[in-house]
Structure 1
Amino acid sequence: MGSETRSAAPPISCLLLPFLLPLLLFTPSAAQPNISDGVRCRADSVYPCQAYAFYRASLAVPLSADLASVGDLFGTSRSLIARATNLTVAQSVLPLRQDQPLLVPISCGCDRDRNRSYYPAAYQIVSGNTFYLVSTVEYANLTAFPAVELVNPTLVPTDLAIGDIATFPIFCQCLPNNTTAVNLTASLGLVSYVLQPSDTYASVASNFGIDSETLTAINGPFNGTYSVVFVPLLQIPPPLIRTSVVSEAPASPPTSPTPVVERNENKGVIAGLAAALAVVGVLCALLLLLLAWCQRRWNRKGEAVGKNGRQNSLERSGKGEGEGRFGSLSSADDKLIADLSEWLDKYKVFDVATLREATAGFDRSRLIQGSVYKGTIDGEVFAVKKMKWNAYDELKILQKVNHSNLVKLEGFCIDAKEGTTYLVYEYVENGSLDTWLHSPAGGSGDRRLDWRSRLRIALDVANGLQYIHEHTWPRVVHKDIKSSNVLLDASFHAKIANFGLARTGHNAVTTHIVGTQGYVAPEYLADGFVSIKMDVFAFGVVLLELVTGRSAFDERTGEALWSKAERLLFRPVTISKEETEALLLEWMDTALVQQSCPVDSVMSVIQVARACLNRDPAKRPSMVEATYLLSKADEHFSEYSGDGLSVVSGSDVAAR
């Protein structure tokens, strides 16, 4: 009992913090960083605009270990940061150095409701996070916690839940319309720069190749260490980054300085005061780091106790509501259950016997597709996915997503005896999109999806992808978007399924190439480059399937649908309207040809598909842009009659 009490007690250094902190805070020369609730929008600026954040990598921050991690932190791509920072492809995949300067391109906007100018960086809360720590450590003072509280009114700063998505407003500003007034005619945008202890306006101006008067005109008087100033960018990269790259070579020993006669007696006093300020600043920084370390340590202990408690409870439990039964477990099984224990409170844990009974012993008559079976538990229908010990990655991603256009995970089960994991999903009644598009029966009977339904399906898939790309952190790359992984519910709304290949984080390189023929992006196939743009490419293929009714890959000719469309449908030369309509009729699904589909609407979808299938991933649209363009196609169809699923067959059946 005594040892338990000692292990739970905080370190002595942490107990002394309340006594040390007032001494430092009330030291007369202690300099405090400028705390701001945000940057006001300028009345004479146009938003949004291109801006940049000057970011220094830190080896103490895992989220800045490499360029891909920094890209995830700011919600941008590694290639864009590398281009702005003048890094080669080879340099862009290397680990970052301590304090390595990076120029991060951002889009600066104005929040009119709050009159604040910022770039919204989405961040998922993890154990030990506070608004203050993330602002000062992860984002290196490019924002401040009062501003974070302002733009996250629904989050309680003192009660942040792990998994919460918070917006961290990166301070930025747009150039004024009258750039000649402050000599900004040649500027490429404004850089958000955090003043360091050794900085002055003169040194910052020199590092960026401008004059200090311009800095003063934009920012006003010098505002103190760790405040954000906006610096005009005249060239990419700025001299400061060019100098940093050159200075990687070892420096020569310094020469002895020439003695200078001091004429101003006050300079000695000023130098002493500056030294005192520097010492106090270092002490404050060390104190904050110690406080952060203590908090993270206590949080980890709490998590460990919680996990161990849940695991022990799980291992002791018998068959019951929401509980699992694992019997005798090996050390490997213990580790797996410990890994999954963090989700025991979020999902229902089924026992093996219940799932066997629900699926009639996983009978082939209950097989839906692949290793997914239809099962009924307490009168409710589920889809049960049977898999080996590789469920952790899929569960890790599924627990952080929740969207109407993603198939919902209801629970899971571990069969330690057979080394099998079962994932239990909601049952989606109308099966996969590829069955409706490509099977001879067209899904059920002789029914076909009409154009309204196909447009709605395209928008549903676009919304689902937009969610995992833009509203999760780190971003989720699905990696296996295809028509067979798009499921249709009773109302023929689409849901994205099968996150078995999905990964968090993007702009990574892998040598293990996986995917389905006809959907794999060229850069992934050639170089193993993983990014959200590979999902955009696959989505373009799905759009082609919706329009043409053809399979993504022709087994007979060995040619992918997108490659054939690139040769024959995406013609670079301008053709007449009549020729366009004739070409569309040649490519369109025969079921659509029988209907009166507006040419403008179909052509709009073809243009979106063409943009998504660009061989250069940097030129593909984001899913935000693709969703917007598809909504325009839907507007073209707004005057067309029929809101539900029309059925072209011998009968007049229609599902509404």
Structure 2
Amino acid sequence: MNQIVLVFFLLNSLSLCVHSQQNYSGISAQDCQKKDQTGKSQTYLYSCNGQYPSCQTFVILTSQPDYNSVATISNLTSSNPEELARINKVTRLTVFPLNKEVIVPVFCSCMNQYYQANTRFILGQNDTYFYVANHIYQGLSPCSSVMLANPYDEFNLHPNRELQVPLRCACPTSNQSANGIKYLVTFSIGQDDNVEDIAKRFNVSSRSVLDANGFSEENPILSPSTAILVPLPTEPSSSQTVVRKSYNSNPTRHKGKRKVYVIFAIEAVCVVLVLCVVLCVAILFYKKRSNNKSPPRGNSKRATWVSPEDLRVEIASFEKFLHVFGFEEIKKSTEDFSSKNRIKGCVYYGVFGRETLAVKKISRDATNEVNILKKINHFNLIKLEGICTYQQHFYLVFEYMEKGSLKEWLNGNNNKNSDSEETLSWARRIQIALDVAQGLNYLHSFTEPAYVHKNIKTSNILLNTNLRAKISNFSLAGVAKKETRSRSLSTHVVGTRGYLAPEYLEMGLATAKMDVYALGVVILELITGKKASIKQNGRKVLLSSAVVSIMEGDNAEAELGLLIDPVLKGENRIELAMRIAQLSVACLNRELERRPIMEEVVSSLLKIQADLLKSELVLDVDSFISG
């Protein structure tokens, strides 16, 4: 009883400390030191005390001369340009005014006890950690955190070297979620910003902003190039952003030292008291568990099948992320799995309220697929909306993709009914290839651990109403292995002939380069309109083998022209076809070490897309002048 009273007292006295998401670090976050005076590593990222380990959220920074467009800002922050354009109510070609606040959607996840949204930055001439953190990223990434994320010291930063940059972000705590808060927006402080004005602009109370950042006073001093959290019940709106009068890229680090010392003292007291509370609570729970729970008995061997009941217990921890549907609800929405609601195989569409969703009935254990899908969040990866379990079956509920699969589209099922030639154009097909590459690049480089899809093919690439591509079917996906020639690998090979990389077929080696190989085949299907397996001289051959042979020959341009999809030949883009085919052949290299990584594939496709757009603009201008 005395212990309970003590815990209650400590929790009461700590209401200020634990109510906040994270105390405002102020100008101390601008300091570029990996270790403090005690020798411990410093970081000023937000701690993982949110209700969930990951979430979709936003950061807000101001446009600068080198980063003032949708393309450059999305590249700077590794965000989706489509979503960045949407949230700011602009187009992908928009160039923002100087010092315009820009809302950037990011995926925030917990790593090493701290929330972060990971991005990368290529160093320029004379760039330093201080300049990158406090000028380029405007305090959205603490300087010491950038240093901790990279192996280079401050005297070993060379042009074109890539830095890992962890951006500040956070997910709402349970208390904040209970109060209707859905997003904690990381806001980069400008020269004249204060809590009251920021709260007023975002239509929230000053108290909620103060609490979210651990402020004990009503009018705290904010330093430029630092960051605070703004708790919002809805997505931020472009109407809440402004063009700032000026932006101080090198804020002073000498004013208000006394205030900083006071904040440090408060933080230290809070940390000590929180540790006391955690220790007391741990002792109480341990005693209670020791008294009331007997040790487990029986065989401890892990079962190979996870029952629906076990999965339901597991998904309870992320029920807010994935809606748990009732079987009757799914049955009603799909009209009792009517044949007219069937999309293909065991996939149906159903109307859930005002939203149309796809339902996939699975008779096997879907735990692996669910566990991966609940962790990923990217525009070019299919979104899992919810799950249902009933009589040893799993029902996965996905977003509905109106245009079906890329395989159907290439086979003409959608093309024949199209009223726009644009759906058949080079530009459209390059965008689809880029969508798939960006989705795979996220899986390979921006998840922890890195995943390999293992089953990339046109039937697993779905198209929405705007013919934007999303990767589906993660039933074979798993953690990517390192590129090694070790033969102590699985001999159980699954997948579709024509898409499987040689090292996977021969040794069962599943690395990210396996997806690169499969994408090479998909790119060939996009430019030829043919399947992965074709007839040549009366016999079946792989499309990849045929094109590789052509590209290695002396008459590549003419022979490739014969394979190009007939609906594309009118555009007379043989040079473009050669560039795309060369990229595909690079992806299809038998030696996995010589294949490009997915980031390089994305970069190549972006360059091809930009050159195509430039040439089309020139043609439009010439046509306008001659007309």
Secondary structure of 2:359's counterpart equals strand
> Alpha carbons of 1:451 and 1:530: their partners in 2 closer, same or farther (altered >3 Å)?
same
RMSD: 4.7
1:120-164 Cα shifts (integer Å, max 9, x gaps) = xx99636x7359xxxxxxxxxxxxxx999988965899xx9xxxx
Q: Which residue of 1 aligns with 2:568?
A: 592
Q: Deviations over 1:91-111 (max 9, x none)?
A: xxxxxxxxxxxxxxxxxxxxx
Q: Where does residue 370 of structure 1 map in the other structure?
A: 345
Return the match for 1:395 from 345, 367, 370: 370
Distance 1:298 1:610, change over 3 A: farther
Which of 529, 548, 552 does residue 528 from structure 2 map onto? 548
* Structure 1 residues 299 and 598: alpha-carbon distance in aligned structure 2, compared to 1, 3 A threshold: farther
Matching of residue 526 in structure 1 with residue 506 in structure 2:
yes
Partner of 1:171: 152
Mapped pair 1:422 → 2:395: yes
- The answer on 1:125 being equivalent to 2:131 is no
Q: Which moved more, 1:349-358 or 1:380-389?
A: 380-389
The alignment partner of 1:529 has SS state of: coil
| C-alpha distance in structure 2 between counterparts of 1:2 and 1:518, whole Å | 70
Deviation at 1:438, TM superposition (A): 2.1
> What is the aligned counterpart of 2:313 among 338, 362, 370?
338
Structure 1 CA distance, aligned partners of 2:386 and 2:443? 20
Q: Distance in 1 between matches of 2:519 and 2:141?
A: 34
Partner of 2:496: 516
Output the CA distance in 2 between the equivalents of 1:412 and 1:383. 11
Aligned to 1:260: none
* Match among 409, 424, 441 for residue 436 of structure 1: 409
Say if 2:535 is the partner of 1:564.
no
Change (3 A) 1:423 1:176: closer
1:337 to partner: Cα distance = 1.7
Residues 1:168 and 1:369: Cα distance change in structure 2 (over 3 Å): farther
For residues 627 and 5 of structure 1, do their structure 2 counterparts lie closer, same or farther at Cα, with a shift above 3 Å needed?
same
1:425 aligned partner, one-letter code = F
Residue 536 (structure 1) aligned with residue 511 (structure 2): no
- Structure 1 residues 444 and 147, CA, compared in 2 at 3 Å: closer, same or farther? same
Residues 5-30 of structure 1: CA distance to partner in whole angstroms, max 9, x if unpaired? 9999xxxxxxxxxxxxxxxxxxxxxx
Q: Percent identity?
A: 33
Structure of greater Rg: 1
For the residue of structure 1 that corresponds to 2:350, the secondary structure is strand
The amino acid that maps onto 1:427 is Y
Q: Count residues with an aligned counterpart.
A: 375
TM-score (norm 1): 0.49
Asked whether the equivalents of residues 444 and 450 of structure 2 are also in contact (C-alpha less than 8 Å), the reply is yes
Deviations 1:452-510 (A, max 9, x none): 11111111111111111111111111111111111111111111111111113433832
Q: Which of 394, 397, 405 is the aligned partner of 2:380? A: 405
- Listed one character per residue, the Cα deviations across residues 536-588 of structure 1 (whole Å, up to 9, x for unaligned) are 00000000001111101238834221122222x221x5x4xxx4442232110
In the alignment, the residues of structure 2 paired with residue 175 and residue 155 of structure 1 have an alpha-carbon distance, to the nearest angstrom, of 20
CA distance, structure 1, for counterparts of residue 315 and residue 337 of structure 2: 24
Q: Distance in 2 between matches of 1:398 and 1:617?
A: 27
Instruction: Assess if the C-alpha contact under 8 Å between 1:397 and 1:504 holds in 2.
Output: no
Match of 1:610 among 585, 603, 611: 585
CA distance in 1, matches of 2:364, 2:280: 29
Distance 1:336 1:4, change over 3 A: farther
Which residue of 448, 463, 484 maps to 1:473?
A: 448
Judging changes above 3 Å, is the alpha-carbon distance between structure 1 residues 454 and 149 closer, same or farther for their aligned structure 2 residues? closer
Q: Judging changes above 3 Å, is the alpha-carbon distance between structure 1 residues 378 and 299 closer, same or farther for their aligned structure 2 residues?
A: farther
**Offset at 1:449?**
1.7
Q: Deviations over 1:151-182 (max 9, x none)?
A: 8965899xx9xxxx9982333578799xxxxx
Work out the CA distance in 2 between the residues paired with 1:624 and 1:300. 46
Give, in whole Å, the separation in 2 of the partners of 1:406 and 1:300: 41
Distance 1:582-1:370 versus aligned 2 partners, 3 A rule = same
CA–CA distance in structure 2, aligned partners of residues 399 and 632 of structure 1: 32
Q: Report the secondary structure of 2:596's partner residue.
A: coil
How far apart, in 1, do the equivalents of 2:593 and 2:363 lie? 37
**Whole-angstrom distance in 2 between the partners of 1:331 and 1:434:** 33
